Amino acid sequence: MMNFLMKSAAALALASTLVAAPAEARWRLVEAGDERKVARSKLVVTAPEDWNRATERPTSRSEIWTTEGTQLTELMFYAKIKDGETLFKRRQRKRNPLPEFSPDMLPTDLVEWYEDTANIVLGGSLFEIVEVQPATLGGYPGVHFRYSYTGGDNVARLGEVRAAIIDEKLYLISFEAPKIYYFDRYITGVRAMMDNARFE
Amino acid sequence: MKGLLASVAIAGLAIQPLAAQDADEPEIIEAEDVDDTPLPSAHGYEPQDDLEKGLWYEMDEAEKRLKESRFLIEDPELNAYVRSVLCKTVGEERCQATRLYLVRTPQFNASMAPNGAMLVYSGLLLRMRDEAQLAAVLGHEFTHFEKQHSLRIFRSIRTKTDIMSWLSILPVRLPYAAAMASQYALIGSVYSFNREMEREADAGSIDELVSAGYDPRAASAIWSQLGAEMDATAKERRHRSDKNRNGGLFATHPRSTDRMGKLAIMAREAMDEDKEYDRGATEYRAAIGDWWPKLIDDQIALKDFGGTEYLLATLAGDDPLGWTGDLLYARGELYRARAEEGDFAQAADFYRQAIATGTAPAESWRGLGISLLRDGFKAEGQAALRSYLDLRPDAPDAALLASMAGETA
């Protein structure tokens, strides 16, 4: 039990806070230029450079990639999130319920939904939306937003998300990394990946 | 061996969630007679023996890390204000032993480490209605510190042969919040004080309030507010109320409902009929004012509809005229965030009332626009968003809102 607590208390990047066992997941190389369908969907992305994908999924609707370990670079793909589902696995259904996705959400609601989820998971309040823009994902209208936050490890991180509701289901790509060095090192490639994502 | 035991004990306390203890606490063995030792609040107090030295060392290290935390509220005015309330409550001389830290976290809690580091959570500042209530909490924690309650717990741990079994009964109900709190988990450990210690701290806080001229009835008022808020949270989420199980400042023993009654009696007995007691409601609101919108945002983000709704109503003072533009805006945000049947119409109504006060934040227009759009009132919704963009052309989501308002970005 203590191990579990210590692990939780270490509070890594947002998604890996909730990923069951990233340490035990095996990683497979995705080479620069590789095209892959992600998160068991028809969403296809092209790796801008070498990345590693985890063979274990955080949830059945998501997939996690990294280059340097998830605390330093965390790229998440979520696909086909349906009405009433949450971004992460529900852990404390009653006492700390995560907000549920609704296909009626406006783009601004998607941003707030993500922010609320992060706030509950991180338990803190230093999460801040920096900028929100209209954008497209795979040719569908959606939203692109940037955020910053400090997690339990006191590391300042930046993140960017591209999301769209397509046929009543949510598709979302997120990237986050420490503000110092890692974010800037990878964000250009990640943005290109978000721009070029397409549906097969 | 001694060092190892001490560090195991510290690790055990460090992992305690800050405000989430329940179940029965281990029985604490009372300290030996400590009457002739100096009080830790005395000037130049030094730890008395190896165990206390070790404890201070750990706490000092933890305090160094706390100083680096981005969660600290550095605003000098707010820090000075809370400190002034503490010093007024316990007196200038004793308050010198305290180093005060304000931490941005929406939970309702405060704690004081054995080396004199006091943590006050922003969620507590949001909930206090007046200066006397804040003084009651600070006086309570200061009494735990001065009576060396946490040190006594450490001493008793050392007398237990089976530390692991002691740790295993530590009530642990890890909230998500604990992850964020790990930076100050050790220094801000909320100890499972026993019944006697809590009683001592309650009595201490009443004495401090009276001698500082604060209305001592503030202490029991906090309990009734907190109990009702926990009931409201539980009702909405359909679980049992935490009001009799929440730990830390609001520890299990004595149960909060009993405690409220006892505090009220103590206050009545301590009060001098001919004397005027101060609540300091105006001073308190003035001091917290600039922070209030941020603190209520933090609270709304917790998605605790029942508790937040109750909290807003108490802050309005259960008075229709008490609903300021800020409170109405917050209520609109709360309903819009819940997004259940009828909530967008309710939210739109609150935003409109907020705007009508003339003092509401510009974000009321944003909330109104989004609520109307969600409810299918496209033209009105777009008009409200345009009003918002006129007021806040540089909003972080201006480009997206402009496109939703039908303007070309």
Of chain A, the percentage scoring pLDDT greater than 90 comes to: 64
- Of B49 and B138, the structure prediction assigns the larger pLDDT to B138
Which residues of chain A from 45 to 84 reach within 8 Å of chain B, CB to CB?
none
- How sure is the predictor about B93, in pLDDT bands with cuts at 50, 70 and 90? very high
Flag whether B222 is in a domain: yes
Contacts of B401 in chain A (CB under 8 A): 108
DSSP B184: G
Taking the CA of residue B315 and the nearest CA in chain A, the distance in Å comes to 21
Average pLDDT over residues B108-114: 83
Confidence at residue B242, expressed as pLDDT on a 0 to 100 scale: 63
Contacts of B70 in chain A (CB under 8 A): 126, 150, 154, 156
Count of domains for chain A: 1
pLDDT at residue B162 above 60?
no
Confidence at residue A38, expressed as pLDDT on a 0 to 100 scale: 95
B334 three-state secondary structure: helix
pLDDT tens-place string over residues B305-329:
998 999 898 888 767 778 889 899 9
Q: Which CATH number does the domain housing residue B336 bear?
A: 1.25.40.10
Q: Which of A106, A116, A134 sits opposite B374 (nearest CB)?
A: A106
Query: Per the CB < 8 Å rule, is B175 touching A143?
Result: no
pLDDT at residue B168 above 50?
no
Helix axes B195-212, B131-146, angle to 10 degrees: 130
Backbone angles phi, psi at A194, to 5 degrees: -65, -40
- How sure is the predictor about B292, in pLDDT bands with cuts at 50, 70 and 90? confident
Mean pLDDT value across chain B:
78
Confidence at residue A4, expressed as pLDDT on a 0 to 100 scale: 29
Confidence at residue B69, expressed as pLDDT on a 0 to 100 scale: 79
CA distance B241 to B306: 12
Residues B185 and B254 reside in one and the same domain: yes
Interface A-B: count of C-beta contacts within 8 A: 131
Average pLDDT over residues B352-359: 94
Where is average pLDDT lowest: A34-48, B158-172, B221-235?
A: B158-172
- How sure is the predictor about B222, in pLDDT bands with cuts at 50, 70 and 90? confident
CB distance from A148 to chain B under 8 Å? no
Q: Which of A95, A112, A124 sits opposite B180 (nearest CB)?
A: A124
Where is average pLDDT lowest: A61-75, B42-56, B72-86, B158-172?
A: B158-172
Query: Per the CB < 8 Å rule, is B396 touching A124?
Result: no
Q: Is the dihedral of CA B400, B403, B407, B409 positive or negative?
A: positive
Residues B263 and B375 reside in one and the same domain: no
Residues B221 and B326 reside in one and the same domain: no
Confidence at residue B407, expressed as pLDDT on a 0 to 100 scale: 81
Mean pLDDT value across chain A:
86
Query: Per the CB < 8 Å rule, is B106 touching A125?
Result: yes
Q: Kindly tell me the number of DSSP H helices and DSSP E strands found in chain A.
A: 3, 11
**A142 to A161, A164, B344: CA distances (angstroms):** 11, 4, 22
Helix axes B131-146, B149-159, angle to 10 degrees: 40
Q: Is the dihedral of CA A6, A9, A11, A15 positive or negative?
A: positive
Are A150 and B70 within 8 A, CB to CB?
yes
Range of the domain at B87: 2-270
CB distance from B49 to chain A under 8 Å? no
Where is average pLDDT lowest: A47-51, B214-218, B255-259, B358-362?
A: B255-259
Range of the domain at A106: 2-19+26-199
A29 three-state secondary structure: strand
Residues B220 and B360 reside in one and the same domain: no
CB distance from A85 to chain B under 8 Å? no
pLDDT at residue B121 above 50?
yes
Burial class (CB in 10 A: 0-12, 13-18, 19+), B290: exposed
In sequence order, what DSSP letters do the residues of A141-177 get, joined into one string?
EEEEEEEEEE-TT--EEEEEEEEEEETTEEEEEEEEE
Which residues of chain A from 94 to 133 reach within 8 Å of chain B, CB to CB?
94-97, 99, 102, 104, 106-109, 111-112, 115-116, 119-126, 129-133
In one-letter notation, the amino acid at residue B280 is G
For an interface test with A, the pick among B397, B407, B408 (most A C-beta atoms closer than 10 Å) comes out as B397
The closest of A134, A135, A126, A188 to A157, measured between CA atoms, is A126
Count of domains for chain B: 2
Q: Which CATH number does the domain housing residue A110 bear?
A: 3.40.1000.10
Query: Per the CB < 8 Å rule, is A125 touching B174?
Result: no
CB distance from B43 to chain A under 8 Å? no
Confidence at residue A154, expressed as pLDDT on a 0 to 100 scale: 78
CA B52 to chain centre: 28
Query: Per the CB < 8 Å rule, is B400 touching A132?
Result: yes
Residues B243 and B323 reside in one and the same domain: no
CA distance A76 to B257: 47
- Of A173 and B49, the structure prediction assigns the larger pLDDT to A173
Residues B135 and B11 reside in one and the same domain: yes
pLDDT at residue A163 above 60?
yes
Chain A residue with the nearest C-alpha to that of B233: A95
Confidence at residue B13, expressed as pLDDT on a 0 to 100 scale: 32
CA A185 to chain centre: 18
Residues B59 and B153 reside in one and the same domain: yes
pLDDT at residue B284 above 90?
yes
